[in-house]
């Protein structure tokens, strides 16, 4: 019985570790994407107003 409880605890611990690792990878991907956008120039279109004011 103790062996079953020990195995269950090990599997639960391994699952928690894998879940934390996947969450960390997602966060790293988001940070990398944001850092990539910092190197780009302003991607918004520039609008020049040429009409006269009345």
* pLDDT tens digits along 1-54: 899 999 999 999 999 999 999 999 999 999 999 998 888 887 788 888 888 887
The pLDDT assigned to 33 comes to 92
Q: How far apart are CA 22 and CA 29, in angstroms?
A: 11
The pLDDT assigned to 4 comes to 93
Q: How far apart are CA 51 and CA 48, in angstroms?
A: 9
The dihedral sign for the CA sequence 23, 26, 31, 32: positive
The pLDDT assigned to 26 comes to 96
Q: Tokens 């009409």 sit at which residue?
A: 51
Residue 23, token pair as written in the block: 């969450």
Q: Taking the mean position of all CA atoms in its chain, how far away is CA 50?
A: 42
The pLDDT assigned to 41 comes to 80
């Amino acid at each position: 019985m103790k062996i079953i409880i020990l195995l269950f605890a090990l599997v639960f611990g391994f699952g928690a570790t894998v879940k934390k690792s996947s969450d960390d990878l997602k966060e790293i991907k988001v940070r990398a994407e944001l850092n990539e956008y910092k190197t780009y120039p302003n991607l918004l279109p520039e609008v020049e107003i040429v009409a006269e004011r009345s």
